Amino acid sequence: MVHPTTTQARPATAAFIPRALTGDRPTGPLHLGHLFGTLANRVRLQNQGVELFVLVADYQTITDRDSPAALPADVEGLVADYLAVGIDPAQATIFAHSLVPELNQLLLPFLSLVTLPELLRNPTVKDEAAHAGMGALNGLMLTYPVHQAADILFCKATSVPVGADQVPHVEQAREIARRFNRRYAPERPIFPEPQALLSDAPVLLGTDGRKMSKSRGNSIALSASAEETARLLRGARTDSERHVTYEPERRPEIANLLLLTALCEGVDPHEVAEQIGARGAAALKHRATDAVNERLRPIRARRAELTRDRAYLRAVLRDGTAVARELAVRTLAEVTEAMHTIY
Ligand code: TRP
């Protein structure tokens, strides 16, 4: 089940095509948090007949990464992850930022529609600013939510399946859509206001009990081997109480292992807790390992097959980019007309 977090207001005159756009930074393999947080939703939308656009957000990696040479392998890995979980290039459009100049051109008018205090209020930007110090905050880091609005609006997406951390960015995109329409196209609005689609699955933590993140070494990659999965889960943090119970507030680490098991098995975490009970955390870790390896087995097999055919992965990206670009050209033409920059 997915549910809207915000109410939709779309231009009365535009034809309604359900279209979803979302994406990821190519900074390393996707993990279980992604699977239950957003990937499963994407596949569901695709299978419901929603037009799905999946963005390889390579221009977002230049905000804070300095290893460009790793990009091609990371991009191919990301495409392999997408296809392995069931995103179907015959139905969905997988494309990369940097290859769609018309998308990037939207950044310019969009930047004129936001204020500095507004950008600095964005929780993600705020975090980054606190981390780097204002002096070290680069211009793209400050404005990437505006670029992300261009990602969402160029294809007139009506929904954005994302994790909760991305909701402020979707709000920013809605604001930009409203302001653009009001300033340049009050009679015939160009951009629909997209809505965030959050997964119903509760948030999975990493094996250390903190937010699951590629950079923290606490995540289980979809592409990890069964042995690596077993090792990571053996090392997962637990607590000193013997009896296993599902109490997310009081016992977050145990609850997280129960949740992970339950999500993989498609059952309720309370049920898993009851079954393990007095057998303790070691038994729970075994059960979690089996559950994850079972759930990921077909995904891993498919992924291994895909990564042997790099030319195919590149072709998927190229074909998707051609579709995205056509759309971006059309949107930019509308924008150009609305802005009276035709001479
Ligand atoms: N910022 C997102 C992340 O870090 C990735 C992303 C880029 C995205 N552009 C997007 C997500 C557009 C949704 C819509 O995960």
Nearest residue (CA) to ligand 1, atom 15: 24
Query: What per-residue confidence (pLDDT) applies to 124?
Result: 86
Q: In whole angstroms, what is the distance from residue 188 CA to residue 182 CA?
A: 9
Region 134-156 average pLDDT: 93
Q: Which of 39, 58, 60 to mutate to test the pocket of ligand 1 (most atoms within 8 A of CB)?
A: 60
For 84, residues 6+ apart whose C-beta sits below 8 A from its C-beta are: 222, 299, 300, 302, 303, 306
Residue 3 has pLDDT above 80, yes or no: no
| Burial of 303: CB neighbours in 10 Å, binned 0-12, 13-18, 19+ | buried
Q: Evaluate whether 89 touches 55 at the Cβ level (below 8 Å).
A: no
Nearest residue (CA) to ligand 1, atom 2: 24
Dihedral of the alpha carbons of 95, 98, 100, 106, in degrees to the nearest 10 = 120
Query: What per-residue confidence (pLDDT) applies to 191?
Result: 98
Atom of ligand 1 nearest to the CA of 157: 14
Atom of ligand 1 nearest to the CA of 57: 7
Three-class SS state of 102: helix
pLDDT tens digits, residue range 13-53? Answer: 444 558 999 999 999 999 999 999 899 999 999 999 999 99
Q: Tokens in use for 3? A: 């549910």
pLDDT tens digits, residue range 307-338? Answer: 999 999 999 999 999 999 999 999 999 999 99
Query: What per-residue confidence (pLDDT) applies to 189?
Result: 97
Atom of ligand 1 nearest to the CA of 148: 9
Number of other CB atoms surrounding residue 65 within 10 Å: 14
Q: Which of 41, 52, 55, 174 to mutate to test the pocket of ligand 1 (most atoms within 8 A of CB)?
A: 55
Round to the nearest angstrom and report the end-to-end CA distance of the chain: 49
Residues whose beta carbon lies within 6 Å of some atom of ligand 1: 21-25, 55, 57, 60, 148, 151-152, 160, 162, 166
Residue 256 has pLDDT above 90, yes or no: yes
Query: What per-residue confidence (pLDDT) applies to 6?
Result: 42
What would the DSSP string read from start to end of 9-34? ---TTS----EEEEEE--SS--BHHH
pLDDT tens digits, residue range 155-206? Answer: 999 999 998 889 999 999 999 999 999 999 999 999 999 999 988 888 899 9
Nearest residue (CA) to ligand 1, atom 8: 23
Average pLDDT, the chain: 92
Atom of ligand 1 nearest to the CA of 60: 7
CA 155 to centroid of ligand 1, rounded, Å? 14
pLDDT band at 213 (very low <50, low <70, confident <90, very high): confident
Q: Which of 166, 167, 170, 211 to mutate to test the pocket of ligand 1 (most atoms within 8 A of CB)?
A: 166
Integer CA distances (angstroms), 81 to 26, 56, 87, 270, 296, in order: 11, 11, 9, 30, 11
Residue 11 has pLDDT above 60, yes or no: no
Nearest to 260 by CA among 292, 282, 237, 283: 292
| Burial of 56: CB neighbours in 10 Å, binned 0-12, 13-18, 19+ | buried
Q: In whole angstroms, what is the distance from residue 67 CA to residue 216 CA?
A: 18
Inter-axis angle of helices 139-154 and 167-184, nearest 10: 70
Nearest residue (CA) to ligand 1, atom 10: 23
Integer CA distances (angstroms), 67 to 28, 204, 234, in order: 12, 28, 32
State which of 36-45, 65-74, 272-281 shows the largest mean pLDDT: 272-281
pLDDT tens digits, residue range 230-253? Answer: 999 999 999 999 999 999 999 999
How many residues are given for the chain? 343
Q: Could you tell me the pTM of the whole model?
A: 0.92
CA angle at residue 78 from 72 to 82, to 5 degrees?
145
Query: What per-residue confidence (pLDDT) applies to 211?
Result: 87
Q: In whole angstroms, what is the distance from residue 169 CA to residue 163 CA?
A: 11
Task: Give 292-295 contacts, CB < 8 A, sequence gap 24+.
Answer: 292/32, 292/220, 292/229, 292/233, 292/260, 292/261, 292/264, 293/226, 293/229, 293/230, 294/264, 294/265, 295/264, 295/265
Q: Evaluate whether 79 touches 56 at the Cβ level (below 8 Å).
A: yes
Q: Which of 61, 151, 165 to mutate to test the pocket of ligand 1 (most atoms within 8 A of CB)?
A: 151
pLDDT tens digits, residue range 280-311? Answer: 999 999 999 999 999 999 999 999 999 999 99
